[in-house]
Structure 1
Amino acid sequence: MLSYDELTPPERELWEAFPEGRHVDLRTGMPEDDRVDGGGQWDAGRTVRAAVIVALLLGANTPQPGAVSSLTLAGARISGRLNLAGAQIAHALRLEDCWFEEGVDLSGASTQSIAIVGSRVPGVEAGLIRVEGRLDLRHSRLECGSAPRLHRWATALSLSNAHVSGAVNLSGAEITAPEEWAVSAGGLVAEGGVYCVDGFVAHGEVRLMGAQLPGGLHMPGAQLMGAGPRGVALALDNAVASTLDFSGGFIANGSVRLRGARISDNLTFEGAVLNGPPDGDGPSLVALLMQAVDFDFTLARPPSGPVDLRGAQVSYLHDSERSWPDVVELDGFVYGSIKVAEAGERREAVGLRDSVAQRVAWIRHSPGYSPQPYEQLASWYRKAGHDDDARRVLLAKQRHRRRTLPLTTRVWGHLLDVTVGYGYRPWMAGVWLLALTLLGTLSFGTHSPNPVQRGEGARFQPLVYTLDLLIPIGGLGQRTAWYWSNDGLQWLAYLLIGFGWVLTTALIAGVTRTLQKN
């Protein structure tokens, strides 16, 4: 147990100020002398042992009646390790512009609000902490140091399974764990949200897997400059949040993972840059099975790696010509509406020039063939009242599917396409019928055929005879009553019979295909 006699002058000042909650400021007022980067050179007059801070927070100096005690210290060099693991802390703690020799251990502690602001700390271990208030690390610089390692990767800031009733504020902070975990906060519950704004920078993976963030995650302008050991810059797998804001110049040099994340309001990447893993071998965004209401994917430039939206569900999708890379996984992606950003405005994508062609090209970015993205797009056009556009999408689906079929089936597919557009353009059969009827009528009208039985049967009529050849069902009495001595015309008659069967079969097959789910 520390005694008052063995305290240094700055420690005595802190000791005496604590019961009344008075602020102790050891800064000189000279900017060049107060720079935290140079805290390692501060002398004994600005040094406070971590053990003194621990003793005060655990009740070494009893608070005065009628006063609210708290520990507020600025401009100090903290020597030794600040170890409050498992502690029950009833007082607020604020350390500002301090330089720590060793890491801070708050794992398993129960405490009031904690603020370590503008300081340099070699690691903060706060797994399983319970904070009744805010956790404020604004403008601090955290690096891997002597904080205990509870996993195989070093971590600059650990908030695994922590519970914070207020906000976690990392705005302006720089957290460094190159090639490792800058932030490990799996299972974090931050009721007031997590804020990483005002120039937040992380070197290493930021992990918030399974986090519960009713107040959202706010990272506009944040820079995730180094991927972790898996090439991941940000991991939010299975997280639940009200909003995820990655806008305003947000940069991720590594994959952003939102697998299974559920966002009750908006997910925005407006103006963001998704560079993907540094080695170029990996996705820029993985949002497999993600759910969101509003998904704004209007990036500053196309992602460098693939985007995986398989099984994701959103009510509103916002995109632009800069949203999509060369590879986009869309199988199972469901959306209720698409809006595009053009000239600073958001417009419904239906009805725009080349809308169908652009959307089909978007689907074609998916590797392989899957019918669901086409059917989803067609359903959206149909709900918007653009049935013709929906049919164009479904026709594109059949053409894409044809590439995956055997040669003989592909030939039949080409025939269905040319004749009736796979049933989505049945009027093409009428065009063919009209053209062949005109050809037959003109060709047969210039010659006289031979009757099968002289003096019997109806008079020869070129138009009716041509129709009798083209219509394979029933009969008009002309085809069986006349024949040609002219070989050319006889072969034309055979050709028209064949075309009649092909057109009829293609029309039936095409229409039947539209009524089936492919």
Structure 2
Amino acid sequence: MAPGTVRTLDETALVRACREGRTVRARDGGRLVVEARLVRELCRRGREEIDPRGLTVEGARITGDLDLSGMEVPFPLRFTGCTFDRPVDLDGADLHLLALDGCAVPGLRANGLRVRRDLDLSRSRVTGDLQTTASTSRSAAVWLCESEIGGRLLCLDTVVESSDRAIQADRMRVGGTVRLLHGFEARGGLRLLGVQVAGSLDLTGARLTHPDRGLALDLGDAQIGGSVFLIDDQTGRRPLVRGCVNLGNARISGRLLIRHAAFEPAEMIRGAGYASGRDGGDAISAPGLFVGGELSVEGECGIGGGVDLAMGSFGAIRIHRGSSFTVGGGRALDLTNAELRSGLLIEAGTAVEGTLRLAGARIRGDLVVRGTRWSRPEKDTLIAAQGVVVDGVVDLRDVETDGGKVRFRSATLGDLLDAHGARLRNPGGEALALQQALVRGPVLLGGGFAAEGRVTLNRCAVEGRLDCDGGTFAGGLDAVSAAVRSGMRLRWAEIPPRVDLTGASTTVLSDDPARWPRDSAISGFVYDRFDGAWDWRARRDWLRAIVPFDAGPYEQAARVFRQHGRPVEAENLLIEQRRQARKVFPPGGRSPRRWIRNARDLLYGLTVGYGYRPGRVLWMLGALLALVGVMTMIPAVQQTLRATDPRGNVYAVDGRLVTVDDVSAPGDGTATAARRGARPGPCGDGQVRCFDPLFYTVDTVIPLVSLGQRATWYPETRSSAGRWVSASLNVAGLLGWLLSTVVVLSFARLARPA
């Protein structure tokens, strides 16, 4: 046949070739035309009339309508390099095998098709906007709704183009794998809603470039028995998705692997089902997705949209180095109420613009985001993990955030939370929030940790230690009512502007007392011991520097000193507490009553150290005794002292009778009359008690005992010297009574249990 010659194949030649198992092709460079009606007539023949290899047509033009709808074809049909003038109609057909390899097809209707082996569209170009009864409002180039393919669906290097949907294959069932790979390109939406694939879905190198109203690939409610691959091929061709991939409520028994893929945002779409209440430009919308294995994002994946995995269940999620999420002001990765049977790993170097949502998620392994970079959050939260449960480690080491907070409110965290080297920047707001969280291990916020924003641990329960050694808290630290079981290490690198530990409790307080901010609130802060040197003066300066004054922290520090065998240091702190309390003025200002109270308090402090230093009174009492004793031994003082016997006779200290009363005292028969001026024996011949300076001093100064000296001997007040001695002794008696009372009360207070 001469080159360029067109030959039309007749029915006899077609049947002969099929009986002999030969390929029908043009010879000698000519062109072959096969009428579609001949193919249909051939397909109506029985199995015994056709070679088991079936019909193979190569390089032919198929004219007319190839309508095999409803037909049962028991032998393979293979078309290689053929051009079809009209769409191929296979609705309801039952085929053994169909291969359209390298063909140009203006559309394929195959709803309800049954293929016992493979359906192969490799290297073909399928175009068209066909409509069927499966959808009266939408068109597609390929219709495979409710079809059943016993083997594989192969689309290697296939291009499917439509102004609406490229492929619509709702509820399709495939016994093998679906391979849409290498040069496969869908220029239109790819709808595989509710498909059942026994094997894997392979999209290696695939490109989905013209989404259907923002939806590039719809796998909602799909069931994949193997894995799903969206990866680059051996030539380096990277998969490209323009628009959203929907995996809502899909089930993947194997793994979901995304590698070197690019997701470009399309128009905003409105979610369906679980996500119906939100609008978004998600790259992957997969609420309720189940993945039996691992969801892995590898290589240089650029995801320009959110990944919605809310309510899903996964073996593990791993996002490897080099990946990036760009959803500024939106949700980059949403794992709300999801379950991870292993862990969540986002490798160092991953950059995320958007928010990671973990609210209500359950992670049975580790949560690792070490070395990642986060910015441009949804609202003001970069990692929103309210109520998350993590059985393993939470690794935030070397994390960098900008413009949002990391929030673990009401979370339950496992082994530890490690944020060494993290740099969290959210000026004017919260940088790290652990309110009402339960951490079953330590919380490590030191070793280069820096927060430009508040760090909040209010009502947080930490079963390990809180380690802030070497950390920087530029926005302050709040731990109101926090409970830390294994101690607090608060040796921060820079003094924070404020610290609030109101109502907090711990076992060991390890800190530098000189490096606390003045704006510290530690009322109700309870701890059992200090770590390091027990310097009460350092603790005194620490408490004294905190404004406003609060008595409770002094009592707590004193209690710790006393419980560890340091009662003197404890008392020193309590004395300082009273001193500082005296300096605090009430709202009414400096009233006279306030001045009186301060004066009394000052006296109490100077004398007995507010009851904690009763020894001071003993020294003062001893000094008063010595002073009075010396005074009573001075002859001039003794000359003013007088004693009166029962008869009224007055005697001087030396026994001299000063006055004589001639009238005897009633009933005193032993008394003898004496002449005025006579000198009886010492002590008035036994008529009065002898004067003793020592006992007279004790009897004057200490009113708790009576030795009879003060009652017997008294200063005469006719002379100025006598009046001075009388006044001095009365003052000494009052002072002695006051000091003795203070001593008794002070020792009584010390005798009470602490």
Measured in 2, the distance between the counterparts of 1:59 and 1:415 equals 82
Deviation of 1:374 after TM superposition, in Å, equals: 5.1
Matches within 5 A, 1:48-67: 48-59=34-45, 63=49, 67=51
Using a 3 Å threshold, how does the CA distance of structure 1 residues 217 and 274 change in structure 2: closer, same or farther? same
Residue 225 (structure 1) aligned with residue 209 (structure 2): yes
Using a 3 Å threshold, how does the CA distance of structure 1 residues 485 and 220 change in structure 2: closer, same or farther? closer
Question: Is 1:192–1:213's contact at 8 Å kept on the other side of the alignment?
Answer: yes
Aligned to 1:318: 318
Unaligned runs of 5+ in 1: 1-6, 34-44, 402-410, 446-462, 495-518
Aligned to 1:172: 157
Higher strand residue share: 2
* Partner-residue secondary structure (3-state), 2:15: helix
Question: Is 2:119–2:151's contact at 8 Å kept on the other side of the alignment?
Answer: yes
Using a 3 Å threshold, how does the CA distance of structure 1 residues 443 and 422 change in structure 2: closer, same or farther? closer
Question: Is 1:227–1:278's contact at 8 Å kept on the other side of the alignment?
Answer: no
Deviation of 1:155 after TM superposition, in Å, equals: 0.8
Measured in 2, the distance between the counterparts of 1:339 and 1:196 equals 29
Aligned to 1:455: none
Aligned to 2:626: none
Question: Is 1:102–1:146's contact at 8 Å kept on the other side of the alignment?
Answer: no
Matches within 5 A, 1:501-516: none
Per-residue Cα deviation, 1:38-83 (whole angstroms, up to 9, x for no partner): xxxxxxx62211111001001189716xx43621111111111111
Measured in 2, the distance between the counterparts of 1:102 and 1:372 equals 55
Question: Is 1:125–1:157's contact at 8 Å kept on the other side of the alignment?
Answer: yes
Measured in 2, the distance between the counterparts of 1:156 and 1:485 equals 90
Aligned to 1:142: 126
Higher helix residue share: 1
Query: Partner amino acid for 1:268?
Result: L
Deviation of 1:116 after TM superposition, in Å, equals: 1.0
Deviation of 1:287 after TM superposition, in Å, equals: 1.6
Question: Is 2:79–2:100's contact at 8 Å kept on the other side of the alignment?
Answer: yes
Residue 398 (structure 1) aligned with residue 383 (structure 2): no
Unaligned runs of 5+ in 2: 1-6, 233-237, 270-279, 351-364, 395-411, 425-429, 438-453, 460-475, 491-503, 512-521, 545-550, 588-754
Question: Is 1:104–1:147's contact at 8 Å kept on the other side of the alignment?
Answer: no
1:254 paired residue among 232, 239, 243: 243
1:330 paired residue among 330, 335, 347: 335
* TM-score normalised according to structure 1 size: 0.71
Aligned to 2:440: none
Measured in 1, the distance between the counterparts of 2:62 and 2:222 equals 36
Query: Partner amino acid for 1:331?
Result: T
Aligned to 2:554: 466
Question: Is 1:276–1:282's contact at 8 Å kept on the other side of the alignment?
Answer: yes
Using a 3 Å threshold, how does the CA distance of structure 1 residues 378 and 22 change in structure 2: closer, same or farther? same
Deviation of 1:126 after TM superposition, in Å, equals: 0.8
Using a 3 Å threshold, how does the CA distance of structure 1 residues 166 and 421 change in structure 2: closer, same or farther? farther
* Partner-residue secondary structure (3-state), 1:154: strand
Deviation of 1:231 after TM superposition, in Å, equals: 0.7
Per-residue Cα deviation, 1:300-359 (whole angstroms, up to 9, x for no partner): 243112221211221121103524333222312332223455699xxxx9798x72x749
* Partner-residue secondary structure (3-state), 1:18: helix
Deviation of 1:278 after TM superposition, in Å, equals: 5.1
Residue 68 (structure 1) aligned with residue 97 (structure 2): no
Measured in 2, the distance between the counterparts of 1:491 and 1:300 equals 64
Aligned to 2:596: none
Per-residue Cα deviation, 1:98-150 (whole angstroms, up to 9, x for no partner): 11111001111111011111100011111111111111111010011567463
Measured in 2, the distance between the counterparts of 1:89 and 1:127 equals 16
Residue 123 (structure 1) aligned with residue 123 (structure 2): no
1:235 paired residue among 205, 214, 218: 218
Matches within 5 A, 1:470-485: none
Matches within 5 A, 1:348-427: 355=370, 358=372, 361=374, 365=377, 373=385, 375-376=387-388, 378-381=390-393, 386-389=415-418, 396-398=432-434, 418-420=477-479, 423=482, 427=488
Question: Is 1:307–1:325's contact at 8 Å kept on the other side of the alignment?
Answer: no
Residue 194 (structure 1) aligned with residue 199 (structure 2): no
Matches within 5 A, 1:17-96: 17-26=17-26, 28-29=28-29, 46-59=32-45, 63=49, 67-68=51-52, 70-96=54-80
Query: Partner amino acid for 1:441?
Result: R
Question: Is 1:170–1:197's contact at 8 Å kept on the other side of the alignment?
Answer: yes
Using a 3 Å threshold, how does the CA distance of structure 1 residues 19 and 118 change in structure 2: closer, same or farther? same
2:256 paired residue among 267, 287, 290: 267
Measured in 2, the distance between the counterparts of 1:342 and 1:486 equals 55
Query: Partner amino acid for 1:259?
Result: G
Aligned to 1:287: 286
* Partner-residue secondary structure (3-state), 2:318: strand
1:214 paired residue among 184, 187, 198: 198
* Partner-residue secondary structure (3-state), 1:315: strand
Using a 3 Å threshold, how does the CA distance of structure 1 residues 98 and 340 change in structure 2: closer, same or farther? same
Query: Partner amino acid for 2:323?
Result: R
2:266 paired residue among 277, 284, 288: 277
Q: Percent of aligned positions with the same letter in both sequences?
A: 22
Using a 3 Å threshold, how does the CA distance of structure 1 residues 71 and 373 change in structure 2: closer, same or farther? same
Question: Is 1:84–1:107's contact at 8 Å kept on the other side of the alignment?
Answer: yes
* TM-score normalised according to structure 2 size: 0.50
Deviation of 1:18 after TM superposition, in Å, equals: 2.0
* Partner-residue secondary structure (3-state), 2:117: strand
Aligned to 1:441: 540
Across the aligned residues of Structure 1 and Structure 2, the Cα RMSD in angstroms comes to: 4.6
Question: Is 1:48–1:77's contact at 8 Å kept on the other side of the alignment?
Answer: yes
Query: Partner amino acid for 2:259?
Result: E
How many residues are treated as equivalent by the alignment? Answer: 435
Measured in 1, the distance between the counterparts of 2:348 and 2:382 equals 29
Query: Partner amino acid for 2:338?
Result: F
Measured in 1, the distance between the counterparts of 2:288 and 2:206 equals 25
Using a 3 Å threshold, how does the CA distance of structure 1 residues 471 and 351 change in structure 2: closer, same or farther? same
Residue 163 (structure 1) aligned with residue 168 (structure 2): no
Measured in 2, the distance between the counterparts of 1:129 and 1:91 equals 15
Residue 181 (structure 1) aligned with residue 274 (structure 2): no
Larger Rg: 2
Measured in 2, the distance between the counterparts of 1:351 and 1:387 equals 10
Per-residue Cα deviation, 1:135-178 (whole angstroms, up to 9, x for no partner): 11110100115674631211111111111110000111100013
Deviation of 1:377 after TM superposition, in Å, equals: 6.6
Per-residue Cα deviation, 1:205-240 (whole angstroms, up to 9, x for no partner): 111111111111101111111101x21110111111
Query: Partner amino acid for 1:283?
Result: D
